[in-house]
A and B are shown apart, each in its own frame.
Chain A
Amino acid sequence: MNQSQSSQSNVLTPGTLVDEKIVLYYLSLSLTYLIIAMLAGLLYSLQFIHMYPFEGIEIFSPGRWRFVHTQGVAYGFISNAFLGALQWVVPRLTGHPVASRKLSWFILIAWQVIVLATVVGVLTGEAQALEWGETPVWIDPVALLGLLLVAYNFLTPIVKVKGPMYVTLWYFIAAFVWTPMVYAMGNFLPEYFIGGSAAGAIGGLFIHDLVGLFVTPIGWGLMYYFVPIALKKPIWSHGLSLVGFWGLAFFYPLNGIHHFLYSPIPMFLQYGAIISTIAVELVVTTVIINFFGTLRGRGDALRTNMPVRWFYIGMVFYFTTCLQCAFHTTLMFQRIIHFTDWVVGHAHLVMYGVFGFWINGVMTYLFPRLLRTNGWYKPSWNSWHFWLSGIGMLVMFFDLMSAGLIQGFIWKALAPWSDSITASMPFWKIRTVSGTAIIIGQLFFVANVIMTWRKAGELAPKSSPYDPTPSNQSQEQYT
């Protein structure tokens, strides 16, 4: 820390740096969208087991509710949670507030309008024909403008940092630059400029770049911030964390075409995507080693500290999903699993098992601090949240992976299509049950947030509200 930063940090307080109310609103909205998106997913899953309650009603068409599920998770749950967490992390890491508080509130409201307009748009049949980009075309320019405003708001304090930057800020810079580019590429090029297989290639890049160049850098940036703070211990090697960051930057951008193996896209492009996917797996290994090196000597935190538990189980799932990715992008695996439920299981593990779990950990850490309470209304409800989500997620993952293998082998044997439907039915029923378990777990958390909020006065700490572990409670009780 240079001298000017040091003297500045002496006069800064969390209240002048962070607009805590906006963080609270973002996280609350994120939870609301998550519940809606999960219920939409549950509704969609009922169609597979012949229990869909709204058959024949156009606005309840299962295909449209699938979009509500995916868009609700990506733009309602994850984006709101990330924006809230960024409002907390960026000012505290840089020592400078965001560019404008008024702009922050404008972005908060504008983003909700965009998400709600997307839901209305897809339910009324206006969805754009782009996977993960089903946002109606008339919303795309507004969403892009919103992303540029987000970048301006958060890059302003980051560029004021003098001297070597912490790895989290590198990840955030990359995300703020990449995300508008990826959004523009995916939503505008196939829609207005490029057709045929080339548009398919762009679609593939968009799907994967949205995960790898928006969700991944912000997710890892948050982990590099929250894990050392929760463990009260610096990251094992800052140098290795930068190896991971620059590796992601150079290897990730060509991954996307692996979504279209065995498609009309030229094979040399498909091979390139396979190579870069395996390269990314090697990069991910460095990141995982770094975090488990940090945990060394503090393993008891997995038992006593709920946010740490969410963070590390998410990392185990992240490694699993990347390892799975490195294998299933090979042509040998693709012969079996292409178009099967294996891919659906993989997507759920990434979006909820990894990023959803990390967000759960961030929320578990932040809500008591934002509500100025000494802990949670019922810490045991957070345990229910963790175990129901964890077990539900594992069951869903293995269930869909198994279903995918069975479907793939049945199709490869050229058996009648109906055979694969009959064989899949038990797996689809288990998927619905495991999804229900995850939703119940999430409802425990929502109920705990509401009750903690309502009882905030009774749960207020006697010591400083900014003291991360008030003296009269152990870390376990607090989290």
Chain B
Amino acid sequence: MKTPPSSRSKRYTVLGLAFLLLAPGAYGFTEKLVQFVRTLNTDNEAGFTIIPISNYFLIAGGMACMLFWAMSNGMFRDIEKPKYTMLQREAELDGGALTEEELYDA
């Protein structure tokens, strides 16, 4: 199945939202995380800090590994394709089949 190209406006909207919404969050979050890590060496409250940071790194570290694995295995190539194949499979399972026109015109 060939995926139809996204419209330029949709691509810009997705990229714009990804940047505008995530960049400030990422900045604030990273800054706070660095502050936490520094506290480990400079502060007698380190005991409190170790557990949440370990918890965060355990979960987020695993997710980062999965992200890199997904990128290296082409999981984000032709990024819009899975949303069409999913609907097509459903239609097949329910005894009908959608034509590509039906899918793309929806």
Within 8 A of A (CB), among B22-78: 22, 24-26, 28-29, 31-33, 35-36, 39, 45, 47-49, 51-52, 55-56, 58-60, 62-64, 66-67, 74-78
Residues of chain B within 8 A of A189, CB atoms compared: 51
Interface residues of B (CB under 8 A from A): 1, 6, 10, 13-14, 17-18, 21-22, 24-26, 28-29, 31-33, 35-36, 39, 45, 47-49, 51-52, 55-56, 58-60, 62-64, 66-67, 74-90, 92-96, 103, 106
> Quick check: A12 and B93 within 8 Å, CB to CB?
yes
Which 3 A-B pairs give the minimum distances between C-beta atoms?
A279-B25, A233-B106, A166-B82
CB distance from B44 to the nearest CB of A (A): 10
Complex: A166 Cα to B32 Cα, angstroms? 32
Closest-by-CB residue of A relative to B105 is A233
Q: Does A457 contact B (CB under 8 A)?
A: no
> Quick check: B82 and A17 within 8 Å, CB to CB?
no
CB distance from B46 to the nearest CB of A (A): 10
Complex: A250 Cα to B65 Cα, angstroms? 12
Q: Could you give, for residues 257-280 of chain A, a 1 whenever the CB lies within 8 Å of some chain B CB and a 0 otherwise? A: 100000001101101100110111
Complex: A238 Cα to B83 Cα, angstroms? 6
Given contacts A246-B67, A265-B48, A283 and B21 within 8 Å (CB-CB)? yes
A269-B52, A275-B28 known, 19 other contacts, Cβ within 8 Å: A164-B78, A167-B82, A189-B51, A194-B51, A201-B52, A205-B52, A232-B106, A234-B87, A237-B6, A243-B14, A243-B17, A243-B18, A247-B25, A266-B45, A275-B29, A276-B29, A280-B25, A283-B22, A464-B95
- Please tell me which one of the listed residues A164, A236, A246 contacts residue B74 in the complex, with CB atoms under 8 A apart: A164
> Quick check: B21 and A285 within 8 Å, CB to CB?
yes
Within 8 A of B (CB), among A175-201: 177-178, 181, 185, 189, 194, 197-198, 201
Closest-by-CB residue of B relative to A167 is B82
Complex: A17 Cα to B93 Cα, angstroms? 10
Given contacts A234-B103, A265-B48, A468-B94, A246 and B63 within 8 Å (CB-CB)? yes
Complex: A265 Cα to B6 Cα, angstroms? 48
Complex: A272 Cα to B47 Cα, angstroms? 16
> Quick check: B77 and A272 within 8 Å, CB to CB?
no
13 contacts between A and B (CB under 8 A): A164-B75, A181-B58, A189-B51, A228-B86, A243-B18, A250-B64, A268-B35, A268-B49, A269-B52, A275-B29, A279-B28, A286-B21, A467-B95
> Quick check: B94 and A466 within 8 Å, CB to CB?
yes
> Quick check: B29 and A279 within 8 Å, CB to CB?
yes
Q: Does A93 contact B (CB under 8 A)?
A: yes
CB distance from A387 to the nearest CB of B (A): 30
Complex: A383 Cα to B66 Cα, angstroms? 43
Residues of chain A within 8 A of B84, CB atoms compared: 234
Given contacts A95-B89, A247-B25, A466-B93, A269 and B18 within 8 Å (CB-CB)? no
